[in-house]
Structure 1
Amino acid sequence: MFDFAAYAGLFSAAFVAATIFPMQSEAILVGLILTDRYSLAGLLLVASVGNTLGAAVNWFIGRGIEQFRDSRWFPVTQEKLDRAQVWYRKYGKWSLLLSWLPIGGDAVTVAAGVLKEPLPVFLILVFIGKGIRYLVLAAATISVV
């Protein structure tokens, strides 16, 4: 039986977790894996797509940063953004494979937008990086039980 609510909840958590707003999706994924009621491939796909699309929000913010930069709600400081841009200029699009990192990952995705990385390339590399992270988390979860 397909449980839309479980997959929608995982998608939502993964989406928000990838934006500049703080949230965790890993615990939800682990919990769903441990129930052994859901397709592992389905869970990994939903989490990876949700997290990638959430990161795309950061890319769009980066593209329009001039109008957002001075907003009170904008959580990426100028210092973090400057560091992310230096990192991005040094390592280029390949730094997007590390966009899942809890420190600096969001800033890299914003920097990719600021520096006008093409959206299709952005989406592919972010999906690969985030997908591998969820795959490793799933493998660790399965090996523990």
Structure 2
Amino acid sequence: MNEYLNLAVVAFVSATILPLGSEVLFLYYLNDANLSASFLWLVACIFNTLGSVVNFWLGKYCRKFENSRWFYVKLDKLYYAERCFLRYGYWSLLFCWLPIIGDGISLIAGIFKTPLRLFIPLVFIGKSARYGVLLWGGGVVFT
């Protein structure tokens, strides 16, 4: 049971703007015959998606501070990000699983007030596919 909690915490934190990777731990736990591979997949998907929701909320509230001196994003860069996000649309949320870029996508989705009813399912699908590939690949490698 402790392994599932460890994976949940690592998957959650790795989806926020903090640098951490949950894939190695996920693959490590797949090698444990006492753990359910499908439950590991579900835990990783759910908590990694919840971590992206944290980025979403950070993005949603950072616009309140855009006129502050300490605001680290230049407005021209913010407008460029907005054009890119609007150009590719909500489907870009399927790529929130990508390292570094994915955190930015979820943050930008919050900045531009993407509805959560679209954000959560699309991010979950993308992250589920990534962990699914790891599950399939890990099963091939470790069996």
Q: Is the structural similarity TM-score above 0.5? A: yes
| Cα deviation, residue 81, structure 1 | 5.2
| RMSD, aligned CA | 2.2
**Aligned partners of 1:10 and 1:90: how far apart in 2?**
35
Which residue number corresponds to residue 97 of structure 1?
94
Which residue number corresponds to residue 133 of structure 2?
136
**Aligned partners of 2:32 and 2:54: how far apart in 1?**
31
Of 79-88 and 109-118, more deviation after overlay is shown by 79-88
| Cα deviation, residue 77, structure 1 | 5.0
| Cα deviation, residue 66, structure 1 | 2.7
Confirm or deny: 8 A CA contact 1:100 1:129 kept in the other structure: yes
**Aligned partners of 1:67 and 1:102: how far apart in 2?**
27
Which residue number corresponds to residue 30 of structure 1?
27
Structure 2 segments unaligned to the other structure (5+ residues): none
TM-score, structure 1 length as denominator? 0.86
| Cα deviation, residue 68, structure 1 | 5.7
Q: Secondary structure at the match of 1:35?
A: coil
> Does residue 1:11 correspond to 2:8, yes or no?
yes
Which residue number corresponds to residue 111 of structure 1?
108
> Does residue 1:121 correspond to 2:118, yes or no?
yes
Percent identity, aligned pairs only, is 41
| Cα deviation, residue 137, structure 1 | 0.8
1:21/1:71 CA distance change after superposition, 3 Å: farther
How many residues align structurally? 140
TM-score, structure 2 length as denominator? 0.88
**Aligned partners of 1:30 and 1:71: how far apart in 2?**
44
Which residue number corresponds to residue 88 of structure 1?
85
